[in-house]
Structure 1
Amino acid sequence: MTTATAIRAIVTEGAPQIFAFHGTGGDEHQFADLVPRLWPGAGLVSPRGTVSEFGANRFFRRKAEGVYDMADLSARTDEMIAFIRETRIPGVPALAFGYSNGANILALVSFRAPYLFERIALLHPLIPFAPPPAPGLSGRQVLITGGACDPIAPLTATEALVDYYRAQGAAVTTEIHDGGHELRQGEIAALQAAFAT
């Protein structure tokens, strides 16, 4: 996988390795300052999406807003799973979060390979289809955040995804603010709490 990454070595024994997935138009530096601030000593793996949409980095192609190229999504998900397997540090807890498009690719990874991460956080995800059953998600800790007035990831879709993970047996927590697609401080606080070790 030809993915540019920003990787920081773990400097504190016992600290986790955190994978951070940027939103559309972001890059591997989008959360590079946030991770060490919230979890000092944690390692960071931040892949850059390899799809360009009018110059904006993404993790998979789409045909229109909320309409995914499903064949491309499937192939990119397999590539990302392989990348994560190659990058994980054996014996170190692996946690992951993604925002918007990054949350979407992370969700797809969790459907197919739920064992890769001990905990995940999906910030403003949009999964506009019914995911397949994933019994391996049972007991996994999942944080899902969103905005009640989000025009890109509507609240109904967020709630449907929460219901899906709960139906798989995952331990789901949520943080929903009254705004749109923007990240708010309450979500950052919820993310920090979800990944606290």
Structure 2
Amino acid sequence: MSIDSYIHAALPGSPGSPLFFLFHGTGGDERQLVSLGRELLPSAAIVSPRGDVSEFGAARFFRRTGEGVYDMDDLALRTKKMAAFIRAHRNVTKPSAVIGLGYSNGANILASVVFAEPELFDAAVLMHPLIPFQPEIDGDLAGKRVLITAGRHDPICPPNLTSRLEAYLRAAAADVTVEWHEGGHEIRPNEIEAAKRFFSAYAARTGA
């Protein structure tokens, strides 16, 4: 799989910096999270792919048959493709660390890649993920850093499923932090601040 297997935005980073993958939500594109990525890790090299599945014209990373009902065969295929894309960029960049951040559908594909190939990422931020299935983790999540952010009144990602995902990850020995707000599916300032704290060690490492 090549580094160009997805349409994507790419921004260079400082020497020795992390490689930062960003995954947009349904209906977004490769530019949706770039400014946030730069805010969180100014020195990182950024790669932000555009989902290659169209749902009535809205870009997504995998198919679904209804709200919260995933086409699991398609998810498996898209996860394999995304993992290969990430690996190709890792091999070219040879970064100090590989970090991922995804929102909504982007958080879901990021989580699926982490489950399938935990070694690809050093840390991941999952903003409003919805994982309505029991993950099968193929590898070792011990010590992997994961931040989950969520709304207590999110109509798309119910809080009980967020808590269940947290429990899955903790049971797999991941280092999990959860940041809640009292709203819905929107990203709120406390989530951004939590992500900044989460990434602070990587920012310090590169002098950002």
With structure 1 as the length reference, what TM-score do the two structures score? 0.96
Aligned mates of 1:5, 1:116 — CA distance in 2? 19
Aligned to 1:153: 157
Give the Å deviation of 1:92: 2.5
Counterpart secondary structure, 1:192: helix
Aligned mates of 1:86, 1:178 — CA distance in 2? 39
Give the Å deviation of 1:150: 0.4
Whichever residue aligns with residue 149 of structure 1, its letter is: H
Aligned mates of 2:137, 2:168 — CA distance in 1? 9
Aligned mates of 2:27, 2:173 — CA distance in 1? 33
Moved more, 124-133 or 100-109: 124-133
Q: Which runs of 5+ in 1 are unaligned?
A: none
Q: How is 1:22-37 mapped onto 2 (pairs within 5 angstroms)?
A: 22-37=24-39
Give the Å deviation of 1:135: 4.7
Give the Å deviation of 1:195: 1.4
Q: Deviations over 1:23-79 (max 9, x none)?
A: 000000001111122222211000000000011000000000000001100000000
Q: 2:94 aligns with which of 75, 90, 95?
A: 90
User: Aligned residue pairs: how many?
Assistant: 196
Aligned mates of 1:36, 1:98 — CA distance in 2? 14
Aligned to 1:173: 177
Q: Which runs of 5+ in 2 are unaligned?
A: 203-208
Counterpart secondary structure, 2:191: helix
Aligned mates of 1:133, 1:105 — CA distance in 2? 14
Aligned mates of 2:94, 2:122 — CA distance in 1? 13
Please provide the CA RMSD for this pair: 1.1
Aligned to 1:51: 53
Whichever residue aligns with residue 135 of structure 2, its letter is: P
Q: 2:112 aligns with which of 108, 111, 136?
A: 108
Say yes or no: does 1:4 pair with 2:7.
yes
Aligned mates of 1:128, 1:161 — CA distance in 2? 9
Counterpart secondary structure, 1:139: coil
Give the Å deviation of 1:134: 4.4
